[in-house]
Structure 1
Amino acid sequence: MITFGFITIHPNQENTYITEIARHSDSNTIVYRFIPTAIDPATEKVHGEKFNHESGVWETAVFDIPMYLYDRCFYGDDPLSIRSQPIMNWLKNRPYSTFIGLGLPNKWEIYNVLRSDEELAAYTPKTIKASSVPKIINKLIKDKKLLLKPKNGSQGKGIIGLMVTKGKVEALTHKNQKLITKSFLSKSEFSKWLDQLLSSRDYMCQQLLPLQDVDNHPFDIRILLQKNENGEWIEQGRGIRRGLKDHLISNINAGAEVLKYDDWVNALPVQQQALLTDGITTIINKVPKLLEREFLNLFELGIDIGFGIDGGVWILDINSKPGRKVILHSKEGKADELYKAPLQYSAYLEKQSLVKGVD
């Protein structure tokens, strides 16, 4: 019997996803869900919920820490996140815990690994640490347009665009699917604002790439990679995220729509199709193996790829806790396969552990 645990920061987070996973489990698997703070440190018992196959509902339960764990924790600045992170670190270092994927470090570490590979470096936008106000101002004067990205962040949150235009600096951010523009008429005013920003969190800085379509909508290509029942990396699907007009990001939570990849790519000139296909093939063949070699074991990756108006192919972001909306919306009949994937990979890990036990 395999026990499978789904972990989130807040109760009932990603409820639809974990419920569908549980419904797709077989009689040899018991599926639980819980939050990190529900673990009793003295007994290591968990107060959470167990899925009842007969009734199809979740029931309150107390249980041992499951054999296989699926980390879907997204951390914020709230008290529960702050309390949960050290518990998750302990859990990942616990000898008897097996996570189906251990996740990735911050974006700066990922960037340096990608740049160290000769082929992938060509697809990785040159990035620097936003370590000081003068450094960013000098780069802005040179490049005219910059993008600031939080070193730790996801879903496009915290991204800021900086532009020099008509003798002033504009800072563009997003909030509740709205584009917010703040203008600075003097260098001192902008410097003060930038100093406060860089003091609040760690940022990375890169040139703002031309990644809009002909109607000035930002867009990117989301590719979902997962390991299958044989422990091999496979592509589960890809789709286009098309953001709101004149915005910086194309994340779903920022109002982006989903387009089918095949329909979109077939509208491109043949030469551009070839360049894009060649770049994507290199990226998806090399990235998973490189990241696992440099960091820790992974189960899935969401790779966001930009395609510039100049034909440039760029790795924009890599997420070890990706969503599935893009794939579910753009590839029909994929739902069952996506919901079974974490369970099938857990079964593979169980087989591997039994083989090692026999050896």
Structure 2
Amino acid sequence: MVDHPHLGILVEFCLASDPPFPEKKFFQHLTQHANTLGLQVTVFSPHSINWTKGSISGYRYNESKAKWVQGTYPLPSLIYDRIFYHSRQHIRKVAPVIKRLQQEYGVLLLGKGLPGKWKVYHMLKDDGILSSFLPETLLFRPGTQWRKKLIEHKALFFKPSSGTHGKGVLKVTLAGKRIDVQGRTWHNHLLQIDFSSFSACETWLKKYVRQRQYIIQPYLELTTPDAIPFDMRILLQKNGTGQWTVTGNVIRTGPKGKLTSNLHGGGTAVEANRFLNKYYRPEQIESIFDQLNLLVGRLPHHLEKKHGPLFELGLDVGIDRTGEVWLLEVNSKPGRRSFQLSRDYQALSNAIYAPAKYANYVFHALKGV
């Protein structure tokens, strides 16, 4: 392992911005906190590594100049991967770089990114307790009995196994002799189309899905009585002693009558207790938090056994009209914006600083300090 406390944040450089990477404010505050722990932070890309010299071209935040400064730096000892992979091909491009850093230079990856929703579903469903939180899930492929399921449930939810920000999601509803499809395109535009037969709908679905992997679930009524879609985001992170903790939770709401509560689809975020008190009875709220405590106490440990090391997880949880909790998605690269929107600044601060604290813990634990 590289013998200095140096955290490298792995990103994709984009020429359209200066500095050329997203999440600048997050990385700035993370860097400032890391520096107080004696940890250097460099933002770099897979293409900015000089393998011959064992160095990287990247950016460090200069506090005295209040700006990001480009330079050449040693290889990091730890990697925080913040690349948002959009396809299996994208993963295959970057994975050899991370593997080489690990094998040849002893660089440690803080957490291994989760695979798509279908694989995560199978990691969780063999646990009797966790499986009770999972909606029935099928893979959309030739032979899938989606027509039978649509007749049974009246509405199904189709979503890309590796999608983000609510892009590509579809609600397929059986309305008499018609089949209604509504959702969001891959450019995050609203989509609505009707079909007069199952075969016409299936032909369109195959063309829309193409080679992407899609999962199918029963459509759950995860809306308020006044048709506002919502879910709960729970952020779990390892702290400065390597223990899983709940950083915070927040309710994300979408526009009235729309399909999802995703922030990129026009949603916002509000404080959880105030929202739940408005729509659920006290005994329901008590049951909701009992279910949530069971879920968060079990999931990260089980997932690590199946998948390998993790250090932060965003759980997207649905709560139906009866107060039943459903696990909708697990994200190993969660954002922080929902805490800012809900004005939970303590949770936001903890969410930003946690990666630096955990990286510092890992480095010193490995050094035996």
Question: 2:140 matched to 1:130?
Answer: yes
Question: 2:62 matched to 1:52?
Answer: yes
How many positions carry a matched residue from both structures? 356
Alignment partner, residue 304 of structure 2: 292
Report deviation, 1:133: 6.0
Report the Cα distance in structure 1 between the residues aligned to 2:258 and 2:102, rounded to whole angstroms.
38
Report deviation, 1:113: 2.0
Report the Cα distance in structure 2 between the residues aligned to 1:332 and 1:339, rounded to whole angstroms.
10
Report deviation, 1:307: 0.5
Report deviation, 1:93: 5.4
Report deviation, 1:178: 5.0
- The range that moved more, 172-181 or 262-271, is 172-181
Aligned-partner residue type, residue 308 of structure 1? D
Structure 2: runs of 5+ lacking an equivalent: 14-19
- SS of residue matched to 2:360: helix
Aligned-partner residue type, residue 302 of structure 1? G
CA contact (8 A) 1:6 1:69 kept: yes
Alignment partner, residue 349 of structure 1: 362
Report the Cα distance in structure 1 between the residues aligned to 2:303 and 2:353, rounded to whole angstroms.
24
2:252 to 241, 244, 248: 241
Report deviation, 1:221: 0.5
1:283 to 286, 295, 299: 295
1:75 to 85, 89, 99: 85
2:234 to 202, 219, 223: 223
- The range that moved more, 250-259 or 4-13, is 4-13
Alignment partner, residue 3 of structure 1: 6
Report the Cα distance in structure 2 between the residues aligned to 1:109 and 1:94, rounded to whole angstroms.
29
- SS of residue matched to 1:24: helix
CA contact (8 A) 1:133 1:194 kept: no
Aligned-partner residue type, residue 22 of structure 1? T
Query: What is the identity percentage for the equivalent residue pairs of Structure 1 and Structure 2?
Result: 29
Alignment partner, residue 178 of structure 2: 168
Question: In 2 relative to 1, CA 340–50 (structure 1 residues): closer, same or farther, beyond 3 Å?
Answer: same
Aligned-partner residue type, residue 215 of structure 1? D
Alignment partner, residue 213 of structure 2: 202
Alignment partner, residue 258 of structure 1: 269
- SS of residue matched to 1:321: coil
Aligned-partner residue type, residue 23 of structure 1? Q
Q: What whole-Å deviation, never above 9, does each CA across 1:116-149 have from its counterpart, x for those lacking one? A: 1111111111111112266222322222210112
Question: 2:27 matched to 1:18?
Answer: yes
TM-score by length of 1: 0.92
Report deviation, 1:186: 2.9
TM-score by length of 2: 0.89
Report deviation, 1:328: 2.9
CA contact (8 A) 2:168 2:188 kept: no
Question: 2:42 matched to 1:29?
Answer: no
Q: What whole-Å deviation, never above 9, does each CA across 1:325-345 have from its counterpart, x for those lacking one? A: 112333133343333211111
Report the Cα distance in structure 2 between the residues aligned to 1:43 and 1:339, rounded to whole angstroms.
32
Report deviation, 1:282: 0.5
CA-atom RMSD in angstroms: 2.2
